[in-house]
């Protein structure tokens, strides 16, 4: 094969602005050798995250930075097989199963049949972990891990996770439980059993204000932001900790939280191979569960974006790039 396919944002707008484009495949022996420390990966699955859809719609800093670089290929989560690597990338060989949180935040590139990735950004996928799970894990898992770290969640803490049934939330519940916390999670009634099975007490946000259902939590992990995040501040005890994850409303939520005497911070996830390796090992050991709501063929990326924009997917959604949908 001398060419390969990608799904690109052709202009900012509705999901229909996503279109397939063809690229020449690097002549491995020649071109790739020029790319210091790169590994060429044949992508089998690519994870879909809300930031992909926000960027496609022209919102946020990734859109602002890439507005003059359209068509731009989104996607930060990949899993696949190593095709070739340059000498400096030593550790990897053809056929290795890998996953990575790549090109974050400005480069993206995961919605693609092939991608060249710096060797140090990849994790080996344990044989027992399906590649679709390995593609769904990186960005959401590391966000969950880092939010709990930032909030200094410890054994015995009461932790409220807003949007506990979502991509980040369902992993955050399990990681917080593993730290010994008592976890509460907001979700709709249809997801109550799901979050309970992950170890949380479910709070149905449609059954009245959360601050009537829960008081004196030590920590709020806010995965909703805006008015929903602000509405949940009353669940946290004086001096409690708040980490608000959606960047667009972080300042607003932190301001309100501080006025209530809470410690509050926003965050931007930082790619960490160490954390990816650790969570991949947990998946392999069965101590972390990753739920995949749906798998869409790459060519149906627009439908995947509609799904993520509904705001009600359970766990993760994934694009099948070279694997089965
Ligand atoms: N700052 C960063 O570095 C960073 C990194 C990753 C993600 N993020 C942001 O964090 C947010 C969460 O990401 P995600 O990937 O977890 O999103 P997601 O998977 O799209 O979240 C979907 C979930 O939200 C739940 N939900 C919708 N409305 C709700 C409400 N009013 N109360 C409680 N739950 C509600 C839904 O559950 P129901 O169907 O039960 O309502 C659904 O399961 C997004 O805004 C994302 O952009 C930021």
- What is the tens place of the pLDDT at every residue in 124-178? 999 999 999 999 999 999 999 999 999 999 999 999 999 999 999 999 999 999 9
* pLDDT, mean over the chain: 95
CB 228 within 8 A of CB 162: yes
Coil, strand, or helix at residue 301? helix
Say yes or no: 18 and 39 in one domain: yes
DSSP letter string, 117-186? EEGGGEEEPPTTS-HHHHHHSHHHHHHHHHHHHHTT--TT-EEEETTTTSHHHHHHHHHHHHTT-EEEEE
| Domain annotation covers residue 273 | no
Ligand 1 mean position to 167 CA, how many Å? Answer: 7
CATH number, domain at 8? Answer: 3.90.180.10
CB 316 within 8 A of CB 47: yes
Mean of the pLDDT values across residues 197-224? 97
Report the 10 Å Cβ neighbour count for 301: 26
Say yes or no: 156 and 195 in one domain: yes
pLDDT digits 0-9 by tens, 207-219: 999 999 999 999 9
Q: Does residue 38 have a pLDDT over 90?
A: no
Tell me if 51 CB under 6 Å of ligand 1: yes
Closest ligand 1 atom to residue 315 Cα is 19
Ligand 1 mean position to 257 CA, how many Å? Answer: 20
Domain that holds residue 74: 3-137+290-320
The count of structural domains within the chain is 2
Pairing mode of beta strands 114-118, 38-48: antiparallel
Q: Which of 59, 221, 223 to mutate to test the pocket of ligand 1 (most atoms within 8 A of CB)?
A: 223
Q: Which residue, judged by its Cα, is nearest atom 33 of ligand 1? A: 163
Q: Does residue 291 have a pLDDT over 60?
A: yes
Mean of the pLDDT values across residues 235-252? 97
| Domain annotation covers residue 283 | no
Q: Which residue, judged by its Cα, is nearest atom 1 of ligand 1? A: 268
* pLDDT (0 to 100) of residue 86: 67
CATH number, domain at 229? Answer: 3.40.50.720
Q: How confident is the model at residue 323 (pLDDT cuts 50, 70, 90)?
A: confident
Say yes or no: 163 and 226 in one domain: yes
Mean of the pLDDT values across residues 207-235? 97
Say yes or no: 64 and 128 in one domain: yes
């Amino acid at each position: 094969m001398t060419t390969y396919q990608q799904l690109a944002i052709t202009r900012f707008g509705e999901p229909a602005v996503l279109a397939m484009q063809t690229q020449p495949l690097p002549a491995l022996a020649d071109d790739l050798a020029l790319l210091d420390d790169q590994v060429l990966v044949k992508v089998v699955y690519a994870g879909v995250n809300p930031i992909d859809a926000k960027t496609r719609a022209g919102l946020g800093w990734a859109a602002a930075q890439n507005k003059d670089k359209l068509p731009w290929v989104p996607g930060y989560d990949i899993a696949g097989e190593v095709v070739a690597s340059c000498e400096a990338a030593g550790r990897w060989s053809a056929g290795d199963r890998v996953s990575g949180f790549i090109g974050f935040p400005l480069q993206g590139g995961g919605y693609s049949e092939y991608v060249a990735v710096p060797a140090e950004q990849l994790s080996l996928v344990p044989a027992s972990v399906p590649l679709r799970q390995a593609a769904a894990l990186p960005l959401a898992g590391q966000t969950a891990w880092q939010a709990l770290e930032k909030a200094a969640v410890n054994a015995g803490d009461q932790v409220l996770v807003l949007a506990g049934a979502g991509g980040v939330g369902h992993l955050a519940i399990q990681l917080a439980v593993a730290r010994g916390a008592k976890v509460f999670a907001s979700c709709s009634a249809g997801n109550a059993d799901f979050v309970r099975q992950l170890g949380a007490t479910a709070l149905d946000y449609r059954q009245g204000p959360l601050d009537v259902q829960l008081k004196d939590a030590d920590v709020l992990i806010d995965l909703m932001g805006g008015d929903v995040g602000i509405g949940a501040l009353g669940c946290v005890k004086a001096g409690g900790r708040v980490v608000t994850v959606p960047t667009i409303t972080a300042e607003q939520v932190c301001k309100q939280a501080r006025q209530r005497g809470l410690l509050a911070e926003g965050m931007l996830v930082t790619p960490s191979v160490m954390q990816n390796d650790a969570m991949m090992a947990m998946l392999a050991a069965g101590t972390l569960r990753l739920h995949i709501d749906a798998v869409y063929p790459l060519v149906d990326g627009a439908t995947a974006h509609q799904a993520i924009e509904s705001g009600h997917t359970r766990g993760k959604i994934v694009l099948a790039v070279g694997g089965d949908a």
